[in-house]
Amino acid sequence: MFIDRVTINIKAGDGGNGAISFHREKYVAAGGPDGGDGGRGGNVVFRVDEGANTLLAFRYKRKFHATPGENGKGNKMHGKNGEDVVVLVPPGTLLKDPATGKIIFDMSRDREYIAAKGGRGGWGNRHFATPTRQIPRFAKNGTKGEEMEILLELKMLADVGLVGFPSVGKSSILSRISAAKPKIAAYHFTTLSPNLGVVSASGGRGFVAADIPGLIEGASEGLGLGHEFLRHVDRCRLILHVVDISAEEGRDPIEDVKTINEELAKYSPALATRPQLIVANKCDAVLIEEEPYVKDFEAYVLENFGTAPYYVSAATGEGLDALVAATAEKLEELPPITVYESELEREESATLGAGERKTEIRREGDIFYVEGEWIYNLMGQINFSDYESMNFFQRILQKQGVFDMLKAAGIEDGQTVNLYDFEFEFVY
């Protein structure tokens, strides 16, 4: 089975919490706070696997969660950092935002990419000791690791794409010019997935060719198999457009070329301008010099593509050496394989699926509910039984404008404020 599009969930590890601890040792008076810091959460790292050419590994495993950092300990002991999770993907995989379809990163040029960063470890209480606060009974919690859904979309890294109607001989040509062994049979849609082959040319000018499953009219609207695999033509620098010159199925080679090119243009206007070499296969089954339709076909190709068609026979090998040489020569004139730039800023991609840093206030009767991810994280750092810690909490709420927002929402003296089940009476 060939899978080239799948959505997965990734989550980096949360940072460990800082420790609340005080040094206790015989003959050591007033040892002071010695709470250690929490460890960093593990990252989610995407890495290119050169031996893969499908996303089949993600058929059943769709969640990749890194381990959290350990909490800090007494005696200034730092918590252990969480281990990274490495996700192996084939070269050419695009990481996309499922909601917008925008590209986060293209796994073509760089071998690794950190898609979700682990949370920072929290500070132990030793960091909060001051001349006036010598016994801090609070520490800082670790921050949450990034979490998001990512759409993986494979666009094969091939220099050359072989396109054409079913059963025109694309797989046969690929098996002849490379070491690839695609399935070959005398019926339509024998090829159910793209096949890659490395082709060697004279002077060390090798290239990678991909056999794209047979297209039909309406492929750009989802008919046949073409809609599923047209994306693999996107990166190809050159298209080898294969037609059956023998017309053994009663089709007109000229109409075949026009139909396939219309489907490519409908799928992506950029494909309509991609350089093409027209490959007339099965020339061993027709007398080239005697058939009038062959002359008409040759004139059409010369007029519209600037070069004569390459007559080949995948069955006998005739003309394939000339085709490989011409392809290698043409590729030297063309720009390198397309590498897509990120369409999202790092800050934007890092918060996909996460709440924005904002404060929400809603009223239910005489109770005002205050919510926000930053408030939830802040409350994890507070020791509500400690006077100094509570003063710190109130100063932060005041500084962030929460009290002003409550006043604007119409709160009155003595009414109740609820912050994630922690309640207090509001006092002007």
Determine if the pTM surpasses 0.75.
no
Quote the pLDDT of residue 303: 93
Answer whether residue 205 is part of any domain: yes
Confidence of residue 373 (pLDDT cuts 50, 70, 90): confident
DSSP annotation of 68 reads: P
| Domain termination site, one of 154, 183, 204 | 154
What does the pLDDT read at residue 355?
43
pLDDT at 222: 54
Residues 129 and 178 in one domain: no
Q: Is residue 409, in this structure, part of any structural domain at all?
A: yes
Answer whether residue 87 shows pLDDT above 90.
Answer: yes
Residues 6+ apart with CB under 8 A from 305: 276, 277, 278
What HEC string does the chain produce?
A: CCCCEEEEEEECCCCCCCCCCECCECCECCCCECCCCCCCCCCEEEEECCCCCCCHHHCCCCEEECCCCCCCECCCECCCCCCCEEEEECCCEEEECCCCCCEEEEECCCCEEEEECCCCCCCCHHHHCCCCCCCCCCCCCCCCCCEEEEEEEECCCCCEEEECCCCCCHHHHHHHHECCCCCCCCCCCCCCCCEEEEECCHHHCCEEEEECCCCCCCHHHCCCCHHHHHHHHCCCCEEEEEEECCCCCCCCHHHHHHHHHHHHHHHCHHHHCCCEEEEEECHHHCCCCCCHHHHHHHHHHHHHHCCCCEECCCCCCCCHHHHHHHHHHHHCCCCCCCCCCCCCCHHHHHCCCCCCCCCEEEEECCEEEEECHHHHHHHCCCCCCCHHHHHHHHHHHHHCCHHHHHHHCCCCCCCEEEECCEEEECCC
Q: Is residue 276 part of a domain?
A: yes
Tokens of 32: 């002071």
- CATH code at position 378: 3.30.300.350
What pLDDT, on the 0 to 100 scale, is given for residue 9? 97
Angstrom distances, CA of residue 228 to CA of 60, 115, 118, 214, 265: 20, 26, 35, 11, 15
pLDDT digits (tens, 9 = 90+) for 376-392: 778 877 777 777 778 88
Residue 64 is predicted with a pLDDT of 97
Give yes or no for residue 214 having a pLDDT over 70.
Answer: no
- Same domain assignment for residues 21 and 84: yes
Q: What is the bridge-based pairing of β-strands 422-425 and 416-419? A: antiparallel
Q: Please indicate, yes or no, if residue 371 is contained in any of the structural domains.
A: yes
Tell me, yes or no, whether 145 and 248 share the same domain.
no
Q: Which residue has the tokens 């489907």?
A: 263
Residue 421 falls inside a structural domain: yes
**What is the count of structural domains for the chain?**
3
**Whether 33 and 108 share a structural domain:** yes
Domain co-membership, 284 together with 377 = no
| Helix-, strand-, coil-residue percentages of the chain, each rounded to 5 | 25, 20, 50
My answer on whether 150 and 187 are in the same domain is: no
Q: Which of 331, 347, 377 is the last residue of a domain?
A: 331
Same domain, yes or no, for 274 and 401?
A: no
Do 115 and 57 belong to one domain? yes
What is the pLDDT at residue 390?
Answer: 83
pLDDT at 188 over 60: no
Of 32-41, 105-114, 125-134, 178-187, least confident by mean pLDDT is: 178-187
Domain-embedded: residue 346: no
| Average pLDDT over all residues of the chain | 84
Q: What is the mean pLDDT of residues 395-413?
A: 89
What are the tens digits of pLDDT across the range 137-171?
Answer: 888 888 889 999 999 998 877 889 898 888 888 88
Q: What is the pLDDT of residue 186?
A: 54
On whether both 173 and 235 belong to a single domain, the answer is: yes
pLDDT of residue 50: 84
pLDDT band, residue 129 (cuts 50/70/90)? confident
What is the domain range of residue 78? Answer: 1-154
First to last CA, the chain: 67
Tell the burial category of 163 from Cβ atoms under 10 Å away from its Cβ (0-12, 13-18, 19+): buried
Q: Kindly report, residue by residue over 295-344, the tens digit of the pLDDT.
A: 999 999 999 999 999 999 998 999 999 999 999 999 999 888 878 788 77
Residue 337 lies in a domain: no
Place of tokens 């929490």: 38
Q: Does 136 have pLDDT greater than 80?
A: yes
Q: In CATH, what number is assigned to the domain containing residue 86?
A: 2.70.210.12
- Do 176 and 313 fall within a single domain? yes
Q: Which residue has the higher pLDDT, 125 or 9?
A: 9
- Name the pLDDT band for 26 (thresholds 50, 70, 90): confident
pLDDT-derived band at 46 (thresholds 50, 70, 90) equals: very high
Q: Which one has a higher pLDDT value, 374 or 7?
A: 7
pLDDT at residue 18 above 70? yes
**Do 320 and 397 lie in a common domain?**
no
Report residue 352's pLDDT band, with 50, 70 and 90 as the boundaries.
very low
Alpha-carbon distance of 428 to 415, in angstroms, equals: 11
228 pLDDT higher than 70 = no
* CATH number of the domain enclosing 311: 3.40.50.300
21, 67, 37, 11: which is closest to 354 by C-alpha?
11
Please check whether residues 169 and 278 belong to one and the same domain. Answer: yes
Q: What's the pLDDT score for residue 349? A: 45
CA angle 240, 154, 185 (to 5 degrees): 50
Q: Please name which of 378, 332, 2, 313 lies closest in space to residue 182, comparing C-alpha atoms.
A: 2
Q: Last residue of some domain: 139, 154, 169?
A: 154
- Asked if residue 345 is part of any domain, the answer here is no
